[in-house]
Amino acid sequence: MKREKKTEQKKRVSGIDKRKHPRFFVELPLDYSRKGKKPDFGGMVQNASESGIFVYLPEKIEVGETVKVEIYFAKGLELNTVEGTAKIVWADLAGKETWREHRYGLEFHSMPRGMIQKLRNLLKDLGDTHKP
């Protein structure tokens, strides 16, 4: 009986972040493509971590679909990108549907050699610039 109560209490607790990696709030443009669809679409990354990104995209996409993503960011005077494939793990289509902005959580699945380190460096730089 006590074990059930504790489990139930844990389920009710909200606002606890159980992510493996810290998230960084950003506003970065991205391009994405879907297999068998038009070549590229644009979207916006709202936050990022080593394991995934929260994005706004202009179209409805099914949870479970894999997309190729390319995130753009400036490093000094250079334009850089982080590329990889990611899986849609959740969708909130109610948000700003009238403006064709759909919210998604994407989990990274694969990245070309060196991209994960590039992403880590970007997130480290973001962390350094957001310290009080």
At 34, list the tokens. Answer: 């879907």
Pair of tokens at residue 127: 């962390």
Provide CATH code, domain 20-129.
Answer: 2.40.10.220
pLDDT for the residue 12: 37
Chain CA centroid to CA 4, Å: 34
The pLDDT-based confidence of 130 (bands split at 50, 70, 90) is low
Backbone dihedral angles phi then psi of residue 17, each to the nearest 5 degrees:
-90, 115
- Tens digit of each residue's pLDDT (9 = 90 or more) over 51-109: 999 999 998 899 999 999 999 999 889 999 999 999 999 998 665 555 668 999 999 99
pLDDT at site 97: 53
The confidence score (pLDDT) of residue 9 equals: 40
Q: Is 53 left (phi over 0), alpha (psi -120 to 50) or beta?
A: beta
Instruction: Report domain extents, the chain.
Output: 20-129
Indicate the average pLDDT of the chain.
82
Q: What is the reported pTM? A: 0.77
